[in-house]
Copies of this chain bind each other. A is one copy, B any other.
Amino acid sequence: MDTKTKILNAAENLFADKGFTGTSLREITSAAEVNLAAVNYHFGSKKELIKALMKRYLDVLSPELEGALLRVMEKNDDLSLDQVFEAFVEPLLTLNTLKEQGTSNFLQLLGHSYTDSQGFLRWFITTNYPGIIDNFVLAVHKAYPQLSSEDMFWRLHFTMGTAVFAMSSTSALIDIAQNDFDSEVDIEGVIRRLIPYVASGVGAKSH
């Protein structure tokens, strides 16, 4: 395996677990068994390494997700919000074919990208992959046409917050949950618990 890939893999695992600011290049290069200077040689900087990491997943996820949302809109005449959110599951799980724990790693990275580093990654994602949000809004509107655009605005942000927060603290929560309920929990389990929650939240009756 070449150095670049070794770095990407080691960085992904560490970043997902401990966040971007919480992981040093020395930890990464040590885990990858490469020289410290290799990161700056191959990627330019820590920021560029992070971008490359996200790009590896987003380039796969983005078209899959847009397709899945379009398909679920075409097929179902009376679309439910649960179906809209279900459309996320399969594209997300295909990320496991890219790398072991790919889905979990990506979602945790996404979570960290919203809370770490003054959100420079949020900007990177929303400007480079706008199709995801656009299709998502369309699908929600089709499933719940009565929802005012103002409620739509707020609830989409609430949903994003719920998902992102859940993902960035998933490893800690899974530990607690396994101690308290000694039940096996994985990332897919969390996703499937998330769906009824956010679908119900978005579908709430307006007051």
Contacts and interface: CB of A to CB of B under 8 A. Distances in A.
Contact of A19 (B115, B197, B199): B115
A144 interface: no
A22 interface: yes
Most buried by B among A153, A158, A192: A158
A110 to B, nearest CB: 11
A207 B119 CA distance: 34
Contacts of A195: 207
Interface stretch (A2-10, A69-77, A96-104, A165-173): A165-173
A166 B172 contact: no
Please give me the 8 A-B residue pairs with the lowest Cβ-Cβ distance, nearest first.
A161-B165, A200-B204, A201-B201, A196-B204, A197-B201, A162-B162, A200-B200, A115-B115
Contacts of A172: 119, 122
B201 A198 contact: yes
